[in-house]
Structures are given as C-alpha cells and as structure tokens.
Structure 1
Amino acid sequence: MANNNITTTTTPSSSEPEMSQVKNYGTTTFVTAAAAEQTTSNTNPNNADANAVQTEDVNDPDSLVALGIQKLEAQNVHWYSYLLTVDFWIIILIGQVLSLCITATNTFSSFLNEQGTSIPAIQTIFVYALIFIVYFPTALYQSGGPRKFFSQTWKHSWKYFILSFLDVEGNYFTVLAYRYTNILSAQLLNFWSIVCVVVISFFLLKVRYKWFQIAGIIICCGGMGILLASDHITGSNGGPGIDMVKGDLFGLLGATLYGISNVYEEWFVSKRPVYEVLSFLGFFGVCINGVQAAIFDRQAATDATWNGPVAGYIVGYTFAMLIFYSLAPIILRMGSAAFFDISLLTANFWGVIVGVKVFGYVIHFMYPIAFVCIIVGLVVYFLAGSVLGDSKKPWLGADQSEGVAGVGTAKLKALNAARKKALAEAEAGAGARV
C-alpha cells in the first residue's frame, strides 16, 4: 500500500481488491475502496465529520463507509429515485441474463433427453469442476498463495460444505421431481422457494420488507400464475405424471433447499469475496455430486448415448451454468435472495420463445401479458426505496462494517461516495486558496 505522508495500520483481509492506495489531497484525506476493504476493524468512528473526512479517520475505514452511507441516504429520495440509478438497470439486466441461462440449461437438457442421455448428477459435476477451475486460481493469487488461503478460509470450510450440499441437493431433487410429476405441478412448487426465502430472511437475517416489496413479489407471482394458466389451457402441463404425490414431494423438497441455499449464499457473498465462495462451492460440489453420481447414476451413464452432439450439449449446459453461478453473487449483493428468485420467473417466458424456434411451440396470447406483469412486479419491488436498494444488508451493521467491500456491495458504494465527496471538497479548498 502506498503511503503519502501519513501513517496507517491495516490488517489484510480476503476481500476483493479494487485499488490499493491512500491518497492525500491538500488537507483532506480519503481512502480508496481496496485500502478500506483491507481493514476489518469493527470499532465505531470517532469524531466523524459529516462535511469532511479528517486525517485521523484513515485508521478507521468504517468511518469512511459511515460517511458515504450518510451521504447517499441524505439525498432527496423520491418514490422513483432508485429506478433512475444505474444499479437498478444493471440488476434488472443481470436478472434477465440469469433467466436466459436457466432457459439455456433447460434447452440443453431437453436435447440430451432426446438423445437418450439422462445423467443429472454426472452432468452437474462438470459445472462444479469448471467453477473450481476458474475461481480457485484467483483465490490463491488474491490470498498470496495456498498456505495463506487455507489458513484464512479453512475455519469456514464446514459452512461452505453446507452451502454446497444445499445447492447440489436442490438441483437434484428439482430435476427428480420432473420425472414423476407434470410440468405444471413442478412449476407451481417452485413458488415455495420464494416463500422460504422471504420467511428465512425475515426471521434469521432480520430483513424487513416494505409494502412495495411485498406487492412486487405478489405481482410477479401473479404473472407466473398467468403463464401456468395458459399452459393448462393449451394442454402444455405435461399430462398426469407417473407418480404425482412422489414427484410433488420431491419438488417441494427441492424448492425448500433452493430457498435456503439462496439466502445462505446471499449471507456468504456479502461477508466474503466471491472468488472464495465459488472456489469452495465448486470443490465441495464436485465431491458431493461425485458420490451421488456413483450411487444413483451408474446405470444411467451405462445406458446413455455418448456421441458428438451429446458432448456439445453438455459443454453448452456447463458454460451456461458457469455464467449463472458467476452472476448470481452480484445480484445477491446488489439485490437480495427474494429479488433473485422472482427475477428467475421470466425464465418460463424465455423458454417458450426458444421453444417456438426450436421445438415448434405456439405462444398463447397470455404469455406477453404474464411477462409484462413480472417485469412490472420487479419494478414495483424497488419503489419507495433508498438509492442503495437491497444492497445495504441489515445483518452487516448500520455502517456495513461486517461486510466485504466487493463489487455490488453497499460498502463499496459508500466508500466511492466518501471518496468523491473528499475529492470535491479538496478541490474546492485548493480553489479557494488560489
């Protein structure tokens, strides 16, 4: 870390680096995002000035965050203020990219089934392996080598194992549900994951939903209901199913595990670097899925068709899931697990668009109405909120001192706001002296 005429004491942390300098402009000092991120002090700011960042605050980056949050929340906020921010449009866009990824994975899975290849556990091993291959080297580099990485993170490994287990089993039981029940029932059960997210976030993470957020969730679910109704009207619900009760129970279990894992991941990525979370998710995902595949998918792998198209479909599935897992932490930081789940409701609409071109589906007139309802619900979710939206997490403290200053977090936004404020005041002071 560069030191410009000031002495600072920092404790390195496993946070995502942005920059690594402490700068001095005239009589006003401020710390760039990474410099503050590398300090994990939980002390309260002393003598913090709302109009300037004093030199003594450099040793307490939490005061910078508190100043930035104060500046952001002191803005004249209207009911539409968050809708005018870049963050809102980014989070909407990411949500739709994630929905397209889900559509892509469903399409590739359908192609695999047409080839006579149904190996859900083995198929997902490649996904977790690629996640590990991509993010583990980054984790080692940012941590300063294997020894430092494991010394810093090994105490959290059991938590990552639980996260991976929930994610793997959520995938497995949801796919398994489609074998026994029809599509309509399976999709209806997916609503349960939204209920789980809201309830768990309320009681365990102390999230307090505003009326607009509740209304947005209800509108989104209403849009999804229109989609399901149109499927039922057109007879696209998949028929009676092999064993409806068994399939519905599997679907309910999968949706519950999904809901828990989404909340758990939101908690994790707000406190730890993304590359660390995904490294462990990939590692334990391979281990858990490997055991599951060895037990349940051996015969399926033997009976499967293995040829060029199958390999291509598996590659497409794997890369679509890599994009999904890479973007999910960003939307969980900028938004929430609840917003993440309701954003994915549009995947059914995109799936039909693909189905029209690939499988010869016919769009019912209710589909565009349903899509508009879901998008309107996503907009309503962020009405009458602060400019920070859901990125300010209640479990990280008022000044977000318990969180990481990574991409999409309120802590990084606050640091940037404090930095801009300090720079503007320094330039104004310099101009006055001239």
Structure 2
Amino acid sequence: MASTSAHPFPAKSAAIAPIEVDTAPQIRRSFAASRSDEIGDAGNATSVAHGAPELVASGYGSMTTEEAPVVEERPKRTWFRYIKTRDFWIVLVLGQILALCITSTNTFSALLAGKGTSIPAFQTLFNYILLNLVYTSITIYRYGLKGWMQLLYKDGWKYFILSFLDVEGNYFFVLGYRYTTILSAQLINFWAIVVVVAISLIFLKVRYHLTQYLGILVCCAGMGILLASDHITGSNGGEAANQLKGDLFILLGATFYGLSNCFEEFLVSKRHMYEVVGQIGFWGTIIIGVQAAIFDRGSFQTAVWDGQVGGYLVGYTLILSLFYSLAPLVFRLASAAFFNISLLTGNFWGVVIGTEVFGLSVHWMYPIAFVLIILGLFVYFMSETVLGEAKKPWLGVNQEAGVAGIGTAKRRVERPDAIV
C-alpha cells in the first residue's frame, strides 16, 4: 500500500478490510426493465440482462460460485455524474479516515521514539497478529479448515508476495526516516503514486481520463504547498544523518508500497476481503516476525518498557488494524491511485494533531494546501460514470471475473439500494 507521511512524523502505510458478509448462495432475483430504468435515473447508463444473479464466492470449501448478472455501462461520460452519487462521498470520507489513521499511527510512533522505544518491525508485528486472529478465523469459519488449507496450497504464494511487499514497504520507509529529512522523504514518497499509475496502465489495463491526470496534478500541487510551508518554517526534520542512504531507503519503500497497493486492488476485486486481509495477517506475521528477530534484537533490549509504552503500542496496533480493514474498501470503490492521493492530506492532519500533542503551530499555507488536495479529488472523478472506478477493466466487460462483495460494481448492480 502506498503511504504518505503525516508531518512531522514518519509516514507509514499498510494495507485491509472490514468483515464482509457475502451470503452464498443468494435467492435468485430477476431484474425487470424498470430496474434498469431506475438505475439509469440515478445517473447510471447501464443495461442489466434478465436472468438469475447470485453472489460469487471464492470457490473454497462448500461455497458455491455462479455468474453475476450481465452488467454493461455505456462509455459515454457525463460531467460531475459520479460526484453526485452517494458512493463518491463515501469513498471521499473513507480516504480521509485512512489519512487520519496514518497520522495517528505516526503520532504513536513519535511518542514511542520519545520514550526511547524504537522497534519498527516488532512494533508492527502486533498488527499482523491481530489481523491474522480476526480475519483468518473468519476465513476458516466460512471455508472450513479443509477449504482454508486448499487456499494456502493453491494461492498462498500470491498472498506471500503481497504480504512481503507490504511488510517491506513499511520497514524501509521507517528505516529511511532514521537517515534522511522529513521534507526529502515526503518528496520521494510521490514516487508511490507514479508506480501505482504505471503498474495500473501496464498490467491492469486501466485507462485514465485526462481529468484524472489533472486531479492527480492538483493534489500534488497541494502537497507541494505543504512542503513549501515546511521549508519556509524550517520543519524539515533537521540535518540528515546520511541523506543518500535515507533517500534510497524511502525510494525503495515507496516502490514496495505502490506495488502492494496495485496487487491488493487486483486481489480484493476477485476475492472476499476477509480472505485477502486474513492472508496478509497470516503471512505478514511470519515475515515481520523473522525480520524483528533478526534486526530488532538490539533495539528491543535497550527499549523502555512501562505502562505508557504499552498504551502507545495498543493504540498503534488498533488504529493500524483499522487502516488495513478499511483500505480494501477504497480499492474496491475507487482505486489504488485514488487511495494514494487521498493520503496526501495526512500531512495536514499531522500538523492538526501535532498542535495538541506536540505543541506545533499551523502555518497559514496548510489550510490552502488541504483545500487544494480535496479539490483535486473532486477533479479526479469529474468525468467518471456512475460506477466510478469500481468497474475494473481486468474483470471483463460485465465484471464476470469479479466477486459480488462490499463495494464492488457487481454488488451495486445486484443491490442498488445497498449502502456500499
């Protein structure tokens, strides 16, 4: 997952999803012509074939898999159509909640460092353990133990790669902050957006509209104002211990983030969210556990352990787990690109929180930058059709290769009255 640093604390991101209840099999429902008209009136030019749709399961255990209704959306674009829908406002708010989550975890990291406890790998281990306990348990309950074992045998390698990218993105980003300045790290973090757009274009066959590129540029301009403010006020993190080394670590971490975001968007569009998040937790626990045992032994021995440190670790773990649980919803409702540019507001929220926790002051340029980034998010979706980016090109014209889960285009056509 791509991440954006929340000034003035190190940035970190991660990737995950709320418990998703996909009842399978569902009672068959026919879509009459009036339903198609109703969807069209809501601003969506879609055609729904008559038939008997059912929810699509992942195919493990005793769950059934059938095709969802044929759904086609005319390519004609109407300005501001998607912005008028409920889905847009949901994904906009979700993006800001995720930015606040990142800011909060960075705040807890800063508080831990202030107490003399800097153990990045071990600190993140508890997040993966919690995700594994919650979502793997749900997966085993839904698929059965045999179905879960089949999942590991058949697709475990995919989730291992996803978890590895996610873990290393977190690790190298935090490691980079030990050697470079905050300002430099924030600039390099833009590389994650470049990676996401490039991977989406080349491998996921996403074709961005001109307004989407414009929206990304507007958001980046807002971020540029934040960075300029940091430079003017001298809030760039001071002298770098090893500028080149730190910048290379940040660049590597941003690359891992971009790759993991695109891979997760691909997987959650085809599989249940509890399966994807559970596998991230399962493999992530193993990977980060080994890493912590190798690289954090010295820091662990010299760390301060008291009630405050325990409270900070609990807060960090709970908020980061919430982040991982909500991120897949944004990947389904929107995309990895929108996910990354939404996190750009994290620097603004970081200063807002920092005024209360660390006594920072808000520079007059910060509110302007925040408004500009939010405006860029509106521009990004200015010409989108009513389904926005929920309709994924790699799932087929009718999304036949996707799962009818929370936030997917297939689910919203089957159940237009659903919240997401």
Give the TM-score normalised by structure 1.
0.83
Q: Where does residue 199 of structure 1 map in the other structure?
A: 198
Q: Where does residue 45 of structure 1 map in the other structure?
A: none
- Aligned residues of 1:65 and 1:414 also touching (Cα < 8 A): no
- Aligned residues of 1:139 and 1:279 also touching (Cα < 8 A): yes
Q: In the superposition, relative to structure 1, how do residues 25 and 97 fare at CA in structure 2: closer, same or farther (>3 Å)?
A: closer
What letter matches 1:227 in structure 2? L
Matched, 1:37 2:56: yes
What letter matches 1:95 in structure 2? G
Q: Write out aligned runs for 1:354-373 (5 A).
A: 354-373=353-372
Q: Where does residue 115 of structure 1 map in the other structure?
A: 115
- Percent identity, aligned pairs only? 55
Q: In the superposition, relative to structure 1, how do residues 235 and 25 fare at CA in structure 2: closer, same or farther (>3 Å)?
A: closer
Q: In the superposition, relative to structure 1, how do residues 337 and 26 fare at CA in structure 2: closer, same or farther (>3 Å)?
A: closer
What letter matches 1:78 in structure 2? T
Deviations 1:208-267 (A, max 9, x none): 000000000000011000000000000000122100000000000000110001001101
User: Unaligned 5+ residue runs, structure 1?
Assistant: 1-14, 41-58, 420-434
Distance in structure 1 (CA, Å) of the matches to 2:58 and 2:321? 31
Q: Where does residue 22 of structure 1 map in the other structure?
A: 27
What letter matches 2:409 in structure 1? A
Q: Where does residue 124 of structure 1 map in the other structure?
A: 124
Q: Where does residue 89 of structure 2 map in the other structure?
A: 89
Q: Where does residue 335 of structure 1 map in the other structure?
A: 334
- Aligned residues of 1:404 and 1:411 also touching (Cα < 8 A): yes
Deviation at 1:279, TM superposition (A): 1.0
Distance in structure 2 (CA, Å) of the matches to 1:278 and 1:80? 33
Deviations 1:322-368 (A, max 9, x none): 10000000000110000000000001100000011111111111000
Deviations 1:107-148 (A, max 9, x none): 1001101100000000000000000011011111111x1012
Secondary structure of 1:207's aligned partner: coil
Deviation at 1:390, TM superposition (A): 0.5
What letter matches 1:37 in structure 2? V
- Aligned residues of 2:173 and 2:253 also touching (Cα < 8 A): yes
**Whose helix proportion is higher, 1 or 2?**
1
What letter matches 2:70 in structure 1? V
Q: In the superposition, relative to structure 1, how do residues 20 and 155 fare at CA in structure 2: closer, same or farther (>3 Å)?
A: closer
Q: Where does residue 56 of structure 1 map in the other structure?
A: none
Q: Where does residue 149 of structure 1 map in the other structure?
A: 148
Q: Where does residue 4 of structure 2 map in the other structure?
A: none
Secondary structure of 2:390's aligned partner: coil
Distance in structure 2 (CA, Å) of the matches to 1:97 and 1:380? 20
Secondary structure of 2:27's aligned partner: strand
Matched, 1:222 2:221: yes
Secondary structure of 1:383's aligned partner: coil
Distance in structure 2 (CA, Å) of the matches to 1:236 and 1:26? 58
Distance in structure 1 (CA, Å) of the matches to 2:316 and 2:58? 39
Give the TM-score normalised by structure 2.
0.86
Distance in structure 1 (CA, Å) of the matches to 2:311 and 2:25? 42
- Aligned residues of 2:57 and 2:403 also touching (Cα < 8 A): no
Distance in structure 1 (CA, Å) of the matches to 2:101 and 2:350? 10
Structure 1 residues 309-318 or 17-26, which shifts more? 17-26
Distance in structure 1 (CA, Å) of the matches to 2:150 and 2:66? 25
Distance in structure 1 (CA, Å) of the matches to 2:29 and 2:106? 53
Deviation at 1:36, TM superposition (A): 3.5
Secondary structure of 1:140's aligned partner: helix
Deviations 1:138-171 (A, max 9, x none): 111111x101222245311001000000000000
Q: Where does residue 299 of structure 2 map in the other structure?
A: 300
- Aligned residues of 1:30 and 1:418 also touching (Cα < 8 A): no
Q: In the superposition, relative to structure 1, how do residues 370 and 60 fare at CA in structure 2: closer, same or farther (>3 Å)?
A: same
Structure 1 residues 77-86 or 340-349, which shifts more? 77-86
Q: Where does residue 248 of structure 1 map in the other structure?
A: 247
Q: How many residues of Structure 1 are paired with residues of Structure 2 in the alignment?
A: 378
Secondary structure of 1:180's aligned partner: coil
Q: In the superposition, relative to structure 1, how do residues 148 and 115 fare at CA in structure 2: closer, same or farther (>3 Å)?
A: same
User: For the aligned residues, what is the CA RMSD?
Assistant: 2.2
Q: Where does residue 425 of structure 1 map in the other structure?
A: none
Deviation at 1:39, TM superposition (A): 9.1
Deviation at 1:200, TM superposition (A): 0.7
User: Unaligned 5+ residue runs, structure 2?
Assistant: 1-19, 34-49, 60-64
Deviation at 1:269, TM superposition (A): 0.6
Secondary structure of 1:240's aligned partner: coil
